[in-house]
């Protein structure tokens, strides 16, 4: 006896739009060209927007969102989870005279740009680290995430305090967003 299938349910599932989401990784490390002059309308501790995010690495994606100049544009109103992690890496001081610079404040912020004049700071992650003088490299990552109500057309982006210390590695420096309700 032939079976009958409910094809209307299958059609309905295929017409539901994919939930907006993005998971991006850094394409290049702390290149000075990637971080032009500090952006004066951002908080003084993290005035360097990260502009080199990309979705070309394994696991990275961009669905129903657009990316321009390091900013993700939100396509529709809703509750979104935003997250970012930046991996900071730099050589330790080479001489006794440089020991005073062995401590660095590492700051990462996530901003929302709306139709207001200034971007709105949503999250700020800070770490002040001191490493052993004989360490070959000083390594630290700053992670943050949170749930926010965003409107269609809002743009979200990441900025940092020390752009020359940012290190691109697919599994270590990333930025993403996904919509929770649909």
Please name the residue that has the structure tokens 């908080």.
Answer: 43
pLDDT score at 11: 52
State pLDDT tens for residues 53-82.
999 888 899 999 999 999 999 999 999 999
Backbone angles phi, psi at 25, to 5 degrees: -125, 160
Distance between CA atoms of 62 and 65, rounded to whole angstroms? 6
At 27 the pLDDT is 84
Check residue 94 and give its pLDDT: 54
What is the pLDDT at residue 139?
A: 79
Planar angle of CA 169, 35, 165, nearest 5 degrees: 45
Concatenated DSSP letters for 95-141? Answer: SGGGGGGGEEEEEEEEEEE-SSSS-EEEEEEEEEEE--TT-SEEEEE
Dig out the tokens for 67 from the structure: 């990316």
Q: Encoding tokens for residue 125? A: 């992650």
pLDDT at position 37: 75
Residues of the chain with pLDDT under 70: 1-16, 29-36, 91-103, 130-133, 135-137, 182
Entry pTM: 0.81
| Cα–Cα distance measured from residue 82 to residue 27, given in angstroms and rounded to the nearest whole number | 20
Q: Which domains does the chain have, with CATH numbers?
A: 18-179 (2.60.120.40)
């Amino acid at each position: 006896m032939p079976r009958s299938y409910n094809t209307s349910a299958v059609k309905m599932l295929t017409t539901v739009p994919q939930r907006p989401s993005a998971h991006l990784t850094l394409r290049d490390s702390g290149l000075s060209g990637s971080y032009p002059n500090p952006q004066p309308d951002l908080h003084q501790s993290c005035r360097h927007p990260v502009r080199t995010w990309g979705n070309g690495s394994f696991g990275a994606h961009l669905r129903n969102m657009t990316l321009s100049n390091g900013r993700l544009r939100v396509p529709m109103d809703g509750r979104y989870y935003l997250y970012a992690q930046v991996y900071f890496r730099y050589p330790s001081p080479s001489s006794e005279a440089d020991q005073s610079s062995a401590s660095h404040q590492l700051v990462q912020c996530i901003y929302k740009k709306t139709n207001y004049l200034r971007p709105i700071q949503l999250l700020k992650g800070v770490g002040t680290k001191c490493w052993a003088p004989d360490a070959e490299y000083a390594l630290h990552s700053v992670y943050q995430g949170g749930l926010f109500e965003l409107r269609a057309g809002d743009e979200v982006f990441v900025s940092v305090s020390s752009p020359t210390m940012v290190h691109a590695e697919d599994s270590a420096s990333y930025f993403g967003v996904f919509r929770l309700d649909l």
